[in-house]
Amino acid sequence: MREVAVIGRGLSKFGERWDSGLRELVTEAGVMAITDAKIPVKSLEAIYTGSMSPGRFTNQEHLGALVADQLGLTPIPSTRVEAACASGGVAFRQAYISVASGLYDLVLVTGVEKMTDVTLKSATSILGAAGDYEWEAFHGATFPALYAMMAMRHMHEFETTEEQLALVSVKNHLNGYKNGYAHFQNPITLEEVLSSSVVASPLKLLDCSPMSIFFW
């Protein structure tokens, strides 16, 4: 197996990007990544795109072809990869394997999602399909509920406190405050997390992640 290196990167701002569709996001960060790599566009040999349920969120199922066409990279092989929250990671893994094996020398890895163009009810249902819909989501076990049960078990086994869980959110928001690409860029306090409304006990509103869209 050969050594593999990342030679360029691009990233769009996270958030409710009402001004942009998947095409615009692909262009925004894809061109940035190719430019950063300082390589001729035509030297790219394949594309791997990670995305969860784009057909249900944006009615765009065939992202492999869409990304290649939008970036002017047809007719190179372009594959969409889906693994729920791990979609981007699995796309990166597939690209790594293709270069390490010697199949390709230069590939583009992308990840794109836009979850805010549907109602909250629809988004909850779509996200529920990332779990076991028949045994979990169908009976009301949304992801906040599932993670709340995991948190309760962790608290039971390790005596973790709600304050300790809340500190994770405080840390994450502080990191977001320092990151110009983050959805939220406002630091929060421990007291604000603990006093926010309960979503699924012991998880509160400021413990939970928002729905963002992005391209990388």
Q: Which residues are designated catalytic?
A: 85
Secondary structure class of 119 (helix, strand, coil) = coil
**Residue carrying the six token digits 């791990």:** 86
Structure letter (DSSP) for residue 52: S
Secondary structure class of 188 (helix, strand, coil) = coil
Secondary structure class of 204 (helix, strand, coil) = strand
* CA 209, chain centre distance (Å): 11
Name residues whose C-beta falls within 8 Å of residue 36's C-beta, 6 or more positions apart in sequence: 8, 9, 10
Give the integer Cα–Cα distance in Å for 74 and 65.
8
